[in-house]
Amino acid sequence: EMKSTDVLFFVTHFSGTYRPLTYLASLIRETIQVYTHCQALLRLIDSGNEVCDPDDAPANWDISEGTIEFKDVYFSYNSKHPVLNGVSFKVQGGTTTAIVGKTGGGKTTITQLIARFYDVNRGSVTIDGVDVRHVKQRDLRKSISIVPQKAEILPTTIRHNIQYGSASTGMSATPKDVHEAACKAQIHQTISSLPYGYETPIHGKKSTFSGGEIQRINIARGLIQPHKVLLLDEATSALDMITERKVQGALKGDNQGKTCVVIAHRLSTIIHADQILVLQDGGIAERGTFAELTALPDGIFKEMWDSQMRISEGSGTSVAPKPTM
């Protein structure tokens, strides 16, 4: 039987330990964040990246319209294997361009050249008429949001994983920003149903989150700041078709005024793109809208589309919403 003095003793000591314990928890979280940033920094240093800022780069350059242009671009990671052989195209600011083609054809490489993770061997990549080699990498990347094919998950909470997307802008996103981005990425409901909600930790490879959930957290990270240019590299490939359409719808609503470059294998997701580029043998073999490309007899895109339709009919799933063009 407990006496009142025992209760008083318990309450006093419990409140004395509670505060330090919560402090310890936040300290552990911060330490994990520092560790993650250090790992990323070390990876960057190890990569031996030779991309350098020019001495005469303008101060605080910013993307205005977001018009991207590739002019006769040649690129290879090593001299033995050319990836792009004279690629030229223009993405008007505020429009969406989709890039399709065989695996290993150079689609991701194009997005990496836009963000200048590598320099072209010949030709140029410009944004708003300015060569990306002539501006500071920090200025370039603060206006570009990349949602990569392989979702990078940090071993910290869901909130920090989404918030991290604002790091390049130098401004920390608010809880409201995190919430809004998660809603657009169709992951808010799933997060809210978890006992610890946004504070749920994600444990890297041992994560219990599905590939589709991780991908949506990744998309939320990409959407957290109003970047002018959005590069989506197979960003929704692990989602089921219904969720994918919802995410695409939210992206479309969110994309007003943004320049989007979308890489997609599932062609039903790019029906509404302003322009589709078909990459083959290091060059652009076909370009046009979905309607134009599917109207080309013996076209590469038409063949890709027909074969995806056949597979989906065979499996009894509806592959595409009807194009409204």
Ligand X SMILES: Nc1ncnc2c1ncn2[C@@H]1O[C@H](COP(=O)(O)OP(=O)(O)OP(=O)(O)O)[C@@H](O)[C@H]1O
Report the interface residues with ligand X, using CB under 6 A: 77, 83, 101, 103-109, 149
Question: Which CB atom, from 58 or from 104, has the smaller least distance to ligand X?
Answer: 104
CB neighbour class for 77 (10 Å; exposed up to 12, middle 13-18, buried from 19): exposed
What minimum distance in Å lies between the beta carbon of 279 and ligand X? 7
Question: Which CB atom, from 179 or from 265, has the smaller least distance to ligand X?
Answer: 265
In Å, how far are 44, 155, 210, 223 from 183, measured between CA atoms? 32, 22, 18, 10
Question: Which CB atom, from 198 or from 305, has the smaller least distance to ligand X?
Answer: 305
Question: Which CB atom, from 18 or from 77, has the smaller least distance to ligand X?
Answer: 77
d(CA 66, CA 127) in angstroms, rounded, equals 6
Contact 142, 168 (CB under 8 A): yes
Question: Which CB atom, from 110 or from 135, has the smaller least distance to ligand X?
Answer: 110
Pairing of strands 96-101, 275-280: parallel
Closest CA relative to residue 109, chosen from 276, 282, 277, 225? 282
Question: Which CB atom, from 89 or from 250, has the smaller least distance to ligand X?
Answer: 89
C-alpha of 7 from chain center: 54
d(CA 115, CA 63) in angstroms, rounded, equals 12
d(CA 196, CA 202) in angstroms, rounded, equals 11
Helices (H), 186-286: 188-192, 211-223, 241-254
What minimum distance in Å lies between the beta carbon of 144 and ligand X? 17
> Token digits for 273?
């793109």
Residue 190 region, left (φ>0) first, then alpha (ψ -120 to 50), else beta? alpha
What minimum distance in Å lies between the beta carbon of 105 and ligand X? 4
Question: Which CB atom, from 5 or from 78, has the smaller least distance to ligand X?
Answer: 78
> Token digits for 295?
């109207």
What minimum distance in Å lies between the beta carbon of 120 and ligand X? 14
What minimum distance in Å lies between the beta carbon of 286 and ligand X? 15
